[in-house]
Amino acid sequence: MNSQQFFSDRRAVVVLATFCCLLWGSAYPAIKSGYQLFDIAASDVPSKMLFAGYRFLFAGLALLALAVATRRQVFVLNRRNLFSTCLLGLTQTTLQYVFFYVGLAYTTGVKSSILNASTTFFSVLLAHCIYRNDRLNFNKAAGCLIGFSGVLAVNFSEDLLDFHFTLLGEGFVVISMFVLSATSIYGKRLSQTMDSVVLCGYQLAVGGIVLIAAGHFTGGQLSGFTPESTALLAYMVLLSSASYAIWTALLKYNRVGLVAVFNLQIPIFGAVLSAVFLGEQVLEWKNVAALLLVCGGIWLVTRER
């Protein structure tokens, strides 16, 4: 079985996409713990960008090292591929995270988690406009809506009744999700002519370098390196490199609408893992209902022929 057959197999898509979302969901408690271990204040956006920059830079370098070890063509890039890869890194990693971190500083965590799910809708709508074989239909629309209701359920609280909207807060979070959706489709196009591991390695490294530069330039500082904090950063590097490489390969060989719907699992995994590792309440009816709704939405989308 070659790479295309493996990554396009429906059962493999479900397992691998769920695994990626599990890793990204684990980033929620990992990031919160990282802020504490590195003494990063909630409003210290420059230091947050610095923290994210080191995470993505080392994740990109790890993927490029893996590509060299497996004898992929890492250093054979023409001018066009080099420009496209740098552009992807600047947008998908740097620009998206700048919008996200600034927005997160001006809104609540509950709202951010819900708004993060909008990336699924943006991806499905953009794919409908770009690809003829990825049109919006009843199953896809119903699956997205049912899955999104699960995201609402897991985040249900008094904050949901607050409809206050600001450009720097909720607006920037939505913009970051649109940037992520659009650049994922752009990355899918690039992956047709480049190895997905090499592409992902370069874009993460480029985006990480720019985030580090931006964090330093705006006064960010990263201190508190201990064995515990270093181990946490190493885990975040591994989860980023593995999840982004697998996700890029899934997008390369499958329709965007099929893969994007799995993003709805990230807030669910994030809530459950935050409860496990941060001591929050997990055994609540809303978490069970959210999981069932998200699984139902994914089932509707993936049952398409």
Number of other CB atoms surrounding residue 111 within 10 Å: 21
Give the residue extent of every domain in the chain.
3-302
- Please give the Cα distance from 200 to 289 (Å, whole number): 35
Average pLDDT of span 287-292:
69
Number of other CB atoms surrounding residue 5 within 10 Å: 10
Average pLDDT, the chain: 81
Average pLDDT of span 61-89:
85
pLDDT: is 223 or 230 the higher one? 230
pLDDT for res 198 = 87
- Please give the Cα distance from 182 to 248 (Å, whole number): 13
- Please give the Cα distance from 95 to 171 (Å, whole number): 14
Instruction: Give the pLDDT band (50/70/90) at residue 238.
Output: very high
Average pLDDT of span 182-208:
88
Q: Is the pLDDT of residue 305 over 60?
A: no
pLDDT for res 153 = 67
pLDDT for res 194 = 83
Burial of 201 (0-12, 13-18, 19+ CB in 10 A): buried
Q: What is the pTM of this model?
A: 0.82
Give me the percent of the chain exceeding a pLDDT of 70: 84
pLDDT for res 164 = 63
